[in-house]
């Protein structure tokens, strides 16, 4: 349904920002050029009366986003962690989007629970509170199991949320297509692919069975991580629209004053948040991709507790190695190596000048070193990075969008605890350890051993594969036969080399 009817949705979006007074504040907070601010006001003013009124008790930008729906709220959640981009005042206003939205009635939640699990709330729980946290997609109730006395969190989707999200995402698809049509240069950034990726992530968040599975896998991966806890799901009380898991008792990570008052070290916690994220992304290739303040607490013993596993990120081993080499290159200020990795991975077209690209990367990286984070304008830094990617023809890589977005969020969370954190210094030991264990001879031997195991599985089929290749070769015209013979010889040589290396690796391992 990605037709012109979405123009109406986009018009109402702009009109809502104008009607609530959010347009002027948002553009000023993000330091938009004066010409853009004037143009936005001129275009938006005639349609002001078409905008949603929203809740007049909320600040303007928060009021506009909540009136527009869940997809817009998700966007606001990300911005709430970036005071360096939107300003301290707006960042503080947007934090209510994380878990302080208006809840839906508790009787509706109980009805949903009974419909999903076939048992009433009263038959399973001795206590069941009103909503203790309400976000864009679901709300949480604190409850106590009658059978065991264990305290749990019961998460229940908002009524009609699936339809609301599909409507918003449909409008985003239309907007992306319109942008690509009106600005061919924007196609390099693949806005349609970006929206499709966002859609796949969000639609997965709307099935709480997948979130229960994610919580279970994440808990298994991180069970040995010092200073980190993940509540376990209660499987027999979870379904598509309901999820039950252990209760996370602690101070919300966004309440910095309370964390300090409890005697916790905010600097140590800020560093641990960043290092844990990098460990999960690099070591496991599976990470919490929604690590804003509303999804983490500090336990009484100082541990960080993570919850809300609706958005998880996964990256393959090759991409993790590339990402780690890029990070370590920046950390070591080896911009030539960073440039080489981009070219080797195909991130930059090979017809571009690698020396010029490395110099552009130096201009991005050098301002970071020797400075406190609060001296760096991330808004200007990101704007310059955009110019660099455009100049060198880099395309948006959809498999890294979630990783990049989460990195931005995590840095924002860490900065809220410690304004002077230097992400590169904190990241260094994690990245260096990963490089030591996964790049170089040890990784090569493991890769060859895995190759040998794969070849072993296909061993019984190799005679038939070779025979089929020879038959096709004998039936092909002479020029094709010559090419086929060369291809067959190359395949044999490559197979022998891989096989020999794999045997050596297995012997050494």
Q: How many CB atoms lie within 10 A of CB 450?
A: 12
pLDDT at 86 over 60: yes
| Report for 77-91, 194-208, 330-344, 441-455: range of highest mean pLDDT | 330-344
In a domain, 92, yes or no: yes
pLDDT at 487 over 60: no
- Residues 337 and 265 occupy one common structural domain: yes
% of the chain beyond a pLDDT of 70: 71
Confidence of residue 376 (pLDDT cuts 50, 70, 90): low
| Report for 42-51, 267-276, 287-296, 494-503: range of highest mean pLDDT | 267-276
| Report for 23-32, 49-58, 207-216, 480-489: range of highest mean pLDDT | 207-216
Task: List the one residue out of 75, 138, 165 whose CA is nearest residue 408.
Answer: 75
- Residues 451 and 435 occupy one common structural domain: no
Which among 204, 223, 247 is the end of a domain?
247
Q: Which residue has the higher pLDDT, 373 or 364?
A: 364
Instruction: Report d(CA 11, CA 68) in Å as an integer.
Output: 12
- Residues 122 and 92 occupy one common structural domain: no
Q: What is the mean pLDDT of residues 434-440?
A: 79
pLDDT at 499 over 50: no
Of 38-52, 161-175, 451-465, 489-503, the least confident = 489-503
Instruction: Please count the structural domains in the chain.
Output: 4
How confident is the model over 442-459, as pLDDT tens digits?
666 666 676 766 666 666
Instruction: Report d(CA 172, CA 92) in Å as an integer.
Output: 26
Report the pLDDT value the prediction gives residue 259, as an integer from 0 to 100: 96
In a domain, 198, yes or no: yes
Instruction: Report d(CA 69, CA 422) in Å as an integer.
Output: 35
Of 152-166, 381-395, 396-410, the least confident = 381-395
| Report for 17-31, 50-64, 282-296, 453-467: range of highest mean pLDDT | 282-296
Pairing assessment for the beta strands 296-298 and 251-252 based on DSSP bridges: antiparallel
Confidence of residue 367 (pLDDT cuts 50, 70, 90): confident
Q: Which residue has the higher pLDDT, 32 or 197?
A: 197
Secondary structure class of 246 (helix, strand, coil): strand
Instruction: Report d(CA 210, CA 334) in Å as an integer.
Output: 41
Instruction: Report d(CA 238, CA 125) in Å as an integer.
Output: 14
Q: How many CB atoms lie within 10 A of CB 166?
A: 16
Q: Which of 84, 99, 170, 290 is catalytic?
A: 290
Please report, to the nearest 10 degrees, the dihedral formed by the alpha carbons of residues 499, 505, 507, 509 taken in order: -150
pLDDT at 91 over 50: yes
Confidence of residue 491 (pLDDT cuts 50, 70, 90): very low
Confidence of residue 504 (pLDDT cuts 50, 70, 90): very low
Instruction: Report d(CA 22, CA 29) in Å as an integer.
Output: 10
- Residues 232 and 288 occupy one common structural domain: no
Helix ranges (DSSP H) in 304-422: 317-331, 335-344, 354-365, 378-391, 398-417
How confident is the model over 226-253, as pLDDT tens digits?
999 999 999 999 999 999 999 999 999 9
Q: What is the mean pLDDT of residues 474-487?
A: 58
Which DSSP helix (H) or strand (E) runs through 153? Answer: strand 151-157
Which among 247, 266, 292 is the end of a domain?
247
pLDDT at 492 over 50: no
pLDDT at 372 over 80: no
Report the pLDDT value the prediction gives residue 269, as an integer from 0 to 100: 96
Report the pLDDT value the prediction gives residue 82, as an integer from 0 to 100: 58
Helix ranges (DSSP H) in 153-262: 161-182, 191-205, 208-222, 256-261
- Residues 75 and 143 occupy one common structural domain: no
Q: What is the mean pLDDT of residues 313-327?
A: 84
Helices 354-365 and 335-344, axial angle in degrees (round to 10): 120
Are the C-beta atoms of 376 and 367 separated by less than 8 Å?
A: yes
Give the domain extent around 286. 249-439
How confident is the model over 6-16, as pLDDT tens digits?
777 778 888 88
| Report for 48-57, 196-205, 250-259, 289-298: range of highest mean pLDDT | 250-259
Q: What is the mean pLDDT of residues 189-213?
A: 78
- Residues 411 and 476 occupy one common structural domain: no
Secondary structure class of 178 (helix, strand, coil): helix
Q: Count the alpha carbons within 13 Å of 76 in the hemisphere toward its beta carbon.
A: 30
Are the C-beta atoms of 337 and 439 separated by less than 8 Å?
A: no
Is 351 a catalytic site residue?
no
In a domain, 222, yes or no: yes
- Residues 34 and 164 occupy one common structural domain: no
- CA diameter of the chain: 83
Task: List the one residue out of 156, 150, 157 whose CA is nearest residue 124.
Answer: 150
pLDDT at 465 over 90: no
Report the pLDDT value the prediction gives residue 351, as an integer from 0 to 100: 85
In a domain, 486, yes or no: yes
SS3 per residue for 417-428: HCCCCCHHHHHH
Q: What is the mean pLDDT of residues 183-201?
A: 68
- Residues 195 and 142 occupy one common structural domain: yes
In a domain, 181, yes or no: yes
**Is the whole model's pTM more than 0.85, yes or no?**
no
Report the pLDDT value the prediction gives residue 341, as an integer from 0 to 100: 87
Of 193-202, 255-264, 360-369, the least confident = 193-202
Are the C-beta atoms of 71 and 202 separated by less than 8 Å?
A: yes
The dihedrals phi and psi of 493, each to the nearest 5 degrees, come to: -65, -45
In a domain, 148, yes or no: yes
- Residues 425 and 320 occupy one common structural domain: yes
Mean pLDDT over each residue of the chain, to the nearest integer:
79
Report the pLDDT value the prediction gives residue 502, as an integer from 0 to 100: 39
- Residues 311 and 423 occupy one common structural domain: yes
Report the pLDDT value the prediction gives residue 300, as an integer from 0 to 100: 93
Pairing assessment for the beta strands 228-229 and 304-306 based on DSSP bridges: parallel
Q: What is the mean pLDDT of residues 219-225?
A: 94
Q: What is the mean pLDDT of residues 71-98?
A: 69
In a domain, 1, yes or no: no
Which among 412, 439, 466 is the end of a domain?
439
Q: How far is CA 324 from the centre of its chain?
A: 17
Are the C-beta atoms of 385 and 363 separated by less than 8 Å?
A: no
- Residues 68 and 121 occupy one common structural domain: no
Residue 171's alpha-carbon distances to 5, 16, 17, 37, 137, in angstroms, are 9, 15, 16, 23, 18
In a domain, 290, yes or no: yes
- Residues 143 and 171 occupy one common structural domain: yes
Confidence of residue 498 (pLDDT cuts 50, 70, 90): very low
């Amino acid at each position: 349904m990605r037709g012109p009817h979405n123009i109406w949705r986009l018009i109402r979006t702009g009109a809502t920002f104008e009607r609530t007074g959010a347009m002027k504040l948002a553009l000023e907070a993000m330091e938009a050029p004066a010409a853009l601010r004037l143009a936005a006001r001129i275009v938006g003013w005639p349609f002001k009366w078409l905008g949603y009124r929203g809740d007049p008790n909320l600040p303007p930008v928060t009021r506009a986003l909540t009136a527009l729906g869940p997809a817009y709220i998700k966007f606001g959640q990300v911005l709430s962690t970036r005071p360096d981009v939107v300003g301290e005042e707006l960042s503080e206003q947007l934090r209510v989007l994380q878990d302080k939205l208006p809840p839906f009635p508790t009787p509706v939640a109980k009805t949903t629970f009974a419909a999903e699990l076939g048992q009433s709330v009263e038959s399973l729980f001795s206590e069941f509170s009103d909503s203790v946290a309400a976000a864009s997609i679901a709300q949480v109730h604190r409850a106590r199991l009658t059978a065991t006395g264990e305290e749990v969190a019961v998460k229940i989707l908002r009524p009609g949320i699936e339809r609301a999200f599909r409507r918003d995402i449909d409008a985003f698809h239309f907007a992306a297509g319109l942008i690509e049509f009106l600005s061919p240069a924007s196609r390099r950034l693949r806005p349609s692919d970006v929206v499709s990726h966002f859609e796949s992530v969000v639609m997965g968040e709307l099935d709480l069975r997948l979130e229960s599975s994610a919580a279970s896998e994440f808990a298994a991966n991180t069970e040995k991580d010092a200073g980190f806890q993940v509540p376990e799901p209660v499987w027999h009380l979870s379904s598509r629209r309901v999820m039950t898991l252990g209760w996370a008792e602690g101070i919300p990570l966004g309440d910095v004053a309370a964390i300090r008052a409890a005697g916790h070290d905010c600097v140590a916690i800020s560093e641990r948040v960043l290092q844990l994220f990098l460990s999960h992304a690099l070591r496991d290739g599976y990470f919490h991709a929604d690590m804003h303040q509303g999804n983490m607490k500090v336990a009484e013993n100082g541990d960080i507790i993570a919850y809300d596993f609706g958005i998880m990120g996964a990256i393959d081993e090759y991409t993790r190695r590339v990402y780690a080499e890029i990070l370590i290159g920046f950390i070591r200020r080896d911009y030539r190596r960073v440039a080489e990795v981009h070219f080797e991975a195909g991130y930059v077209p090979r017809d571009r000048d690698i020396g010029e690209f490395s110099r552009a990367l130096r201009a991005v990286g050098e301002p970071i070193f020797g400075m406190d984070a609060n001296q760096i304008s991330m808004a200007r830094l990101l704007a310059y990075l955009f110019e660099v990617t455009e100049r060198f023809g880099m395309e948006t890589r959809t498999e890294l969008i979630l990783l990049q977005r989460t990195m931005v969020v995590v840095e924002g969370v860490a900065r809220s605890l410690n304004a002077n954190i230097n992400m590169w210094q904190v990241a260094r030991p994690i990245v260096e350890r990963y490089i030591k264990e996964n790049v170089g001879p040890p990784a090569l031997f493991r890769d060859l051993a895995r190759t040998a195991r794969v070849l072993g599985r296909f061993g019984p089929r190799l005679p038939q594969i070779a025979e089929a290749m020879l038959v096709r070769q004998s039936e092909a015209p002479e020029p094709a036969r010559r090419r086929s013979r060369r291809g067959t010889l190359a395949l044999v040589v490559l197979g022998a080399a891989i096989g020999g290396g794999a045997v050596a690796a297995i012997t050494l391992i």
